[in-house]
Amino acid sequence: MIGKEIISEKYTTIAHATEIMDERADFDELSYEHGCSLDYLRKFSTISKEDADAMFEQLVNLGLTEKMAVKIIDLLPETEEDLKIIFYRVDVPENKDEILEVVSKFK
């Protein structure tokens, strides 16, 4: 990455990052580090990019920040306790039952 300029930054799910890395692997040979990253992403990607995108829209519509929505999609919490851990140092939203309902639809 030496000499490259960062044009923009945004939060992305593991599912989306996996798709990006897969496309890059099809286009060009990956370096060792990129290969390790792709292996990690494939191992921990639990839902499809399409489901992640749909879940993201629903979570943001519930009033979550992009950062929190991405974290919830990557971790797929099952209980209120799981949500409390994700929202550590941040107030847990009042609509936690709705959040868990959205997550359960995509599991």
Q: State whether 63 and 31 are in the same domain.
A: no
Residues 68 and 28 in one domain: no
Residue 1 has pLDDT above 60, yes or no: no
Nearest to 19 by CA among 42, 40, 44: 42
How many structural domains is the chain composed of? 2
In this structure, are 27 and 62 located in the same domain?
no
What is the chain's Cα-based Rg?
16
Q: Are residues 65 and 96 in the same domain?
A: yes
Q: Which residue has the tokens 């370096």?
A: 31
pLDDT, residue 91, reads 83
Top-confidence residue, 17 or 92 = 17
pLDDT per residue over 11-46, tens digit each? 999 999 999 999 988 888 888 999 999 999 999 999
Same domain assignment for residues 78 and 37:
no
Same domain, yes or no: 39 and 55: no
Q: For residue 9, give the DSSP letter.
A: -
Question: Can you give the residue range of the structural domain that contains 24?
Answer: 14-44
Cβ–Cβ < 8 Å for 93, 62: yes
Q: How many whole angstroms separate alpha carbon 64 and alpha carbon 24?
A: 31
